[in-house]
Amino acid sequence: MNAQMRSLPAGYRAVVIGASGGIGAAFVDHLRNDPRCTQVLTLSRHSDPGLELTDEDSIRRAADWVREHSTEIDLVINSTGVLTIDGQRPEKTIAHLDPTVMARSLAINAIGPALLLKHLSPLLPRRRRAIFATLSARVGSIEDNRRGGWISYRTAKAALNQVVKTAAIEIAMRHPQAVCVGLQPGTVRTPLSEPYARGDGVLEPADATARLLAVLDRLEPAASGGLYDHAGERIPG
């Protein structure tokens, strides 16, 4: 499935954070194969410069590097996230809660993306359409929580969804045509979700990212602040 971002101007420029992961690499492949995209800059812990979500200085340096290569960025995709921390899978009950693991999940899944918004959103153009998207999760929805469990991950993703909502309000003041949203990719066949990738609903990275790009292509600025799944449906907060 080929993906083209027709809502962005011809010659648009993109940045993908977490480009060394399964979903991030698939985003990069689609964007580099889009004839409308003139530049794809990639960042990860393994890039040069390297980017570490728990180190604001590394994020600041990465943003400076992006600025050196392009004064404006039309599309930013943050595909980072962590589910298993230090070998510990998501806890099934509150009795298994580990405060160190919970703090680490918040640092990577919520605070890190907030810092990305802090340092990279100023590079969005002010007078034309732009998109800042970050991967989130349905389990971050408070209203949609019917099973319980996974407290650390749910809390971190709920915090991320609040970060996106709040940042979107501020971004709209400076970039009125911008779209800032969270994305729920579904269960994708990657190392992160491999222990939970069962059944017919599992998506390959190329398919999941093509669907997400199509969703982003359709979203209007009024959609900013929301969380959307790979079918384009808004997930409640």
In sequence order, what are the residues at sequence separation of 6 or more whose Cβ sits closer than 8 angstroms to the Cβ of residue 93? 148, 149
pLDDT in tens, the chain (237 residues): 668 999 999 999 999 999 999 999 999 999 999 999 999 999 999 999 999 999 999 999 999 999 999 989 999 999 999 999 989 999 999 999 999 999 999 999 999 999 999 999 999 999 999 999 999 999 999 999 999 999 999 999 999 999 999 999 999 999 999 999 999 999 898 876 666 656 668 899 999 999 999 999 999 999 999 999 999 999 998
Q: How many CB atoms neighbour CB 76 within 10 A?
A: 25
Helix (H) and strand (E) counts in the chain: 6, 7
**C-alpha to C-alpha distance for 179 and 175, rounded to whole angstroms:** 9
Q: Where are the domains of the chain?
A: 12-235
**C-alpha to C-alpha distance for 228 and 117, rounded to whole angstroms:** 18
For residue 132, the number of C-alpha atoms closer than 13 Å in the C-beta half-sphere is: 30
| Fold held by 12-235 | Rossmann fold (3.40.50)
Question: The whole model's pTM is what?
Answer: 0.95
